[in-house]
Amino acid sequence: MGSEPKIQESILYEIWQKQNFNSPIKIDDNNDIVIIDKGNRNDNAPGPDFKNARIRIGNLTYVGDVEIDIDYSDWKSHGHNIDNKYNSVILHVTLINKNRHSYVYTRNGRKVPSICLSDIIHNETIEKLINSIKDVKNETIGLLKCRETNYLVPFDLKEKFLIQLGIDRFNKKCKRIYERLKELQFLRELNIKEPVVTYELTSQFHEREFKHSDFANKEVWQQLFYELVFEALGYSKNKVPMATLAQYADIEFLKKIEKDGVIIQKYEATLFFVSGLINSNSNPNNLESKKYLETILLHWNSVKPFYDRKYMNESQWHFFRLRPQNFPTIRIAAGARILNEIINNDMIGVIAKKIAEIHNLKVLINSLRSLFVIKSDGYWKNHYVFDQPAKGEIKYFVGAIRADEIVINVVLPYFALYFEIFGNKDLSKKIMKIYSIYEQKSENQIITEIGTILCMNEHINRTILSQGMIDLFRSFCSKSKCLECEIGKIAFN
């Protein structure tokens, strides 16, 4: 590329998200790299720039993170090579690589391919992106192009368009859940334990036509629900580590734990020790914490002999810029109690029965929400982090707002798929009716600001519209696709 322009990494993030490359991506042995999923932007939390990406190199599919740097040398100069947070990186992307190095190495010694954008994009592409970002700050909601003109668009048209986007977003969630369901079933058949940094999804998987009878195993559905609920409990910054925790301490292992009067405490101990947030070498400063550590260590030692999987590291968890209520410690405490309902009280069957038998949809919504409102108890009633007492009592591990998020993002799409697979189309349609009337309090800044800009702030509690607003922003506004948007077509005519 001649002389490289002085640009910020944010420009490279745009290039990565657009994937507008002019030639195939190769590594030194001429294997093509195929980007299956570019991953989710990691906006604020420490660690790699894109999380949960999927790439294929030759016949292998890799699942993990992507780190993007200006220069190849930044991998070491930024300390990524000695930081545990970068152990799950599967691809290193740079703009400049003068010595044409093909790999970097993680702290755990794993070899990671490094590709150079200058090999697969033109100078003009970068220059256009620089100019477009100067003209329109896409990530700033307050500068949406139609801010001053969308009042010209009739309310009915806005509502109709947002409803359709809300349905599209719901269907995308169902599709994502179905893909994970197929993957779990396939891995079960091959007896592959998760999680691992890499595994191969063979052509047998990609070409296979799954039948409804393939999904008769109850444990696969439990594992899927467990992963989805934990991911939702993780909020934005701890989604990936919470889902990873659910894959490490999986249902198969948890069912080996003897059921007794302290089963919840055993689940809690397991989750905290596997997560790396508490370890046997901890040295608490106060009596209450010492007693708690002794208790959960006793529980953990009783189940540890059955555990043959990996452990997480404390560095994988994020506390920075989070409200204490959203700390992963509190969410894990909640997760232990939900796990007990999933494994020992047939939570999936209970929810299915409620959906089938409660005909008043508003009553049904309240009943579903109440299942995920978790009152605090025990040690974590007075602690946000281990060995540091909270200033006040914590009333709920999961409150009504977070319970709504779980119902909307997990329960409804999960059971829409569940009923569809098992041939109950009436109940699948009932799920969509629930989704269409669901109302929730929103803490989402995108929803709040989009609602205000569209003069629809009185309607942001209606879930199907608020979900549509998120999809509107991500699919159209943030990408400046104004003339492809039904609102933009009129606002700019």
Question: How do residues 49-101 score in pLDDT, each as one tens digit?
Answer: 999 999 988 778 899 999 999 888 889 888 888 888 899 999 999 988 888 88
Q: Is the pLDDT of residue 311 over 90?
A: yes
Q: Is the pLDDT of residue 196 over 60?
A: no
pLDDT tens-digit profile of 314-340? 888 988 778 899 999 999 999 999 999
pLDDT band, very low/low/confident/very high, at 8 (cuts 50, 70, 90): low
Q: Per mean pLDDT, which range of 177-181, 315-319, 349-353 is the poorest? A: 315-319
**Average pLDDT for 138-161:** 79
User: Residue 300 and residue 288: Cα distance in Å, rounded?
Assistant: 18
Q: What is the pLDDT of residue 366?
A: 97
pLDDT tens-digit profile of 382-401? 999 999 999 899 999 999 99
Q: Is the pLDDT of residue 205 over 90?
A: no
Strands 25-26 and 32-37: antiparallel
pLDDT band, very low/low/confident/very high, at 7 (cuts 50, 70, 90): low
Q: Is the pLDDT of residue 122 over 80?
A: no
Q: What is the pLDDT of residue 124?
A: 66
Percent of the chain with pLDDT over 70: 89
Q: What is the pLDDT of residue 44?
A: 65
Q: What is the pLDDT of residue 93?
A: 92
Q: What is the pLDDT of residue 414?
A: 98
What counts of helices (H) and strands (E) characterise the chain? Answer: 19, 13
175 bridge partner residues: none
**Average pLDDT for 423-449:** 90
Q: What is the pLDDT of residue 135?
A: 44
Q: Is the pLDDT of residue 131 over 70?
A: no
210 versus 172: which is more confidently predicted? 172
User: Residue 295 and residue 406: Cα distance in Å, rounded?
Assistant: 30
Q: What is the pLDDT of residue 335?
A: 98
Q: What is the pLDDT of residue 397?
A: 97
Domain spans in the chain, listed from the N-terminal domain onward: 9-135, 202-437
The Cα-based distances of 386 to 289, 333, 339, 374, 378 in angstroms read 7, 12, 21, 20, 13
Q: What is the pLDDT of residue 139?
A: 44
User: Residue 348 and residue 225: Cα distance in Å, rounded?
Assistant: 8
440 versus 29: which is more confidently predicted? 440
User: Residue 212 and residue 219: Cα distance in Å, rounded?
Assistant: 15
CB atoms within 10 A of CB 351: 20
Indicate if the alpha-carbon torsion angle 277, 282, 286, 289 is positive or negative: positive
The 3-class secondary structure across 233-278, one letter per residue, is HCCCCCHHHHHHHHHHCCHHHHCCCCCCCCHHHHHHHHHHHHHCCC
Kindly provide the residue ranges of all beta strands, DSSP E only, lying in 386-480, ordered along the sequence: 388-389, 396-398
Q: Is the pLDDT of residue 206 over 90?
A: no
Q: What is the pLDDT of residue 202?
A: 60
Residue 86 in contact with residue 47, Cβ under 8 Å? yes
